[in-house]
Structure 1
Amino acid sequence: MTETINLALGLGFLLGLKHATEADHIVAVSTIVSEQRSVWRSALVGALWGLGHTLSLLIAGLVVILFRVAIPERAATYLEFAVALMIILLGSHVLYRVLRDNRRVHVHAHEHDGYAHTHLHFHDERSAHDPREAQHHARHAHIIGNLGWKPLLVGMMHGLAGSAALTLLVLTEVMRGGSSALGLAYLLIFGIGSIGGMLLMSALISLPFVFTAERFARINTPIRLLAGLGSVVFGFYYAWEVWVG
């Protein structure tokens, strides 16, 4: 019996590690990591994602255990579709940030005759300036929230959607041969595995962004643009796949 429990918990940890490498998770976290300038902060982003993911799993697990209910398939589909929309928004935000922070091409907000509007603004090399000079307050607010609520909430959304439903099915199987405590222990071990897996993945993903930001600034902007554009394209593909499937 003890060997069976250890095997189930060990399997949960390995599945958590694998869970962190799924495409939608990698794409979503890469959009957040692309805005970081250190491997340590990027790894922290992954850890926060894993923490949010684990919290939502534990909450859903408690609901399953206490009320003996299963997550409806329709609800799981809606949650997956919401994840796809979230990935599109994350990618769009990266594109906006890259354009706003670029010295030659970025977004400007103007007000004329009492009406405010935003548009792309182009500079030549001589008149180029750092748009962050006029966006200091917004950038400061972004930094405050960047390592807190964003990766945490993104992780929580992923925890409720997609393969999280499969995890709860495994939880049900574990409880058939054990107890509620064993079921929660399985989810916790699974969550620890996902935290460790995403921490490592985020650190690895951050390497091209951090390296080019330090030494090859001209390459950093195209890489960030590709990350944002790739996220938007993947988000639309994922939404289409979920909706058609």
Structure 2
Amino acid sequence: MSGTVAAALATAGVLGVTHAIEPDHVAGISSLTAEYGDSRLSALAGACFSLGHVALVVVWLVVASVLLGRTDFPPLYDHLGTVGAGILLGLLGVAMAVTGVRRVLRTDTHTHGEVTHSHPHLHLPLPGFDSHDHSHDARSYLKTGLVGALFTLSPPVSMLVFATTLLPGTGPGVVSLAVLTYAVGITATMSLLGAGVGAAFGRLGEHSATVHGAAQAVAGGAVVTLATLLLVDASAALL
């Protein structure tokens, strides 16, 4: 492998990692995985999110570079994409906060002889797994991937410019390998983010469902705040 190809692949990997840790992506993955309380399933959710994300990046690359022969788009494209991501992120944040509040308030009552105990009611519908029988559900995987794709409504400018700059000197084979490296970087990073969030909330859940729910509610409020800031900035740019 030549030094040029190695440098190109390293750059693609770095672009994938830095793209994955953008605040809206971290918030989106957190809102999807905080409910699980399990690092393995949360990592799986992060991977599904990233695969949908990567799929739309590839679509952008093909349409922009191959079909249209361009890498620059009017700012309107980016602003509209940000509005869409902000709305989606806001909805995810609200759902996360509501789920947390419900976890705090909801209990199941069990009677043992003459003694009645109240236990937190936990039902965790996981992507691809039911919280009781752990059966596979392809539709849940697809829904998580779709959410990831919707976070890529704006043109991925850095990857578009990189791929177009790389193509004349290295050819389509190296560009394809660079895109694959970029995809691996995004997927690995988003999986780790999901696993970290799942492990953190799992630890909270070990203490009590109330603590888990309260943390979810607070985190959901933070996600909604971020979404609001994105919408305000994008709306101001459109006006």
- The question of a shared fold, defined as TM-score above 0.5 by the shorter chain, is answered with yes
Code of the aligned partner of 1:217: A
CA contact (8 A) 1:54 1:192 kept: no
2:190 maps to 198
Aligned 1:172-183 pairs, distance under 5 A: 172-183=164-175
Aligned to 2:60, the other structure's residue is in SS state helix
TM-score using structure 2 length: 0.80
2:152 maps to 159
1:69 maps to 70
Alignment CA distance shift 1:82-1:11 (3 Å): same
Cα separation, 2, equivalents of 1:76 and 1:234: 17
TM-score using structure 1 length: 0.78
Cα separation, 1, equivalents of 2:6 and 2:106: 58
Alignment CA distance shift 1:158-1:184 (3 Å): farther
Cα separation, 2, equivalents of 1:151 and 1:24: 15
Q: Percent identity?
A: 22
2:201 maps to 209
Aligned 1:1-245 pairs, distance under 5 A: 2-67=2-67, 68-70=69-71, 72-73=73-74, 74-103=76-105, 144=137, 147-161=140-154, 164-245=156-237
Name the count of aligned residue pairs: 220
Alignment CA distance shift 1:66-1:59 (3 Å): same
Cα separation, 2, equivalents of 1:84 and 1:215: 33
Cα separation, 2, equivalents of 1:20 and 1:240: 23
Code of the aligned partner of 2:96: V
CA contact (8 A) 1:58 1:184 kept: no
Q: Report the alpha carbon displacement of residue 104 of structure 1 after superposing the two structures with TM.
A: 5.2
Aligned to 1:177, the other structure's residue is in SS state helix
Aligned to 1:72, the other structure's residue is in SS state coil
Q: Report the alpha carbon displacement of residue 210 of structure 1 after superposing the two structures with TM.
A: 0.7
Cα separation, 2, equivalents of 1:146 and 1:28: 19
Q: Report the alpha carbon displacement of residue 243 of structure 1 after superposing the two structures with TM.
A: 2.6
Q: Report the alpha carbon displacement of residue 102 of structure 1 after superposing the two structures with TM.
A: 4.0
Cα separation, 2, equivalents of 1:199 and 1:140: 15
Code of the aligned partner of 1:226: V
Q: Report the alpha carbon displacement of residue 192 of structure 1 after superposing the two structures with TM.
A: 0.7
Cα separation, 2, equivalents of 1:40 and 1:147: 16
Cα separation, 2, equivalents of 1:104 and 1:190: 43
Q: Report the alpha carbon displacement of residue 42 of structure 1 after superposing the two structures with TM.
A: 0.5
Cα separation, 1, equivalents of 2:97 and 2:142: 20
Cα separation, 1, equivalents of 2:71 and 2:202: 43
RMSD (Å), alpha carbons: 3.0
Runs (4+) off by over 3 Å: 99-105, 128-132, 138-147
Structure 2, unaligned stretches of length 5 or more? 108-115, 131-136
Cα separation, 2, equivalents of 1:186 and 1:81: 29
Aligned to 2:231, the other structure's residue is in SS state helix
> What is the CA deviation profile of residues 174-213 of structure 1, one whole-angstrom value per residue up to 9, with x for unaligned ones?
1132223332322221111010011111111222211111
Aligned to 1:35, the other structure's residue is in SS state coil
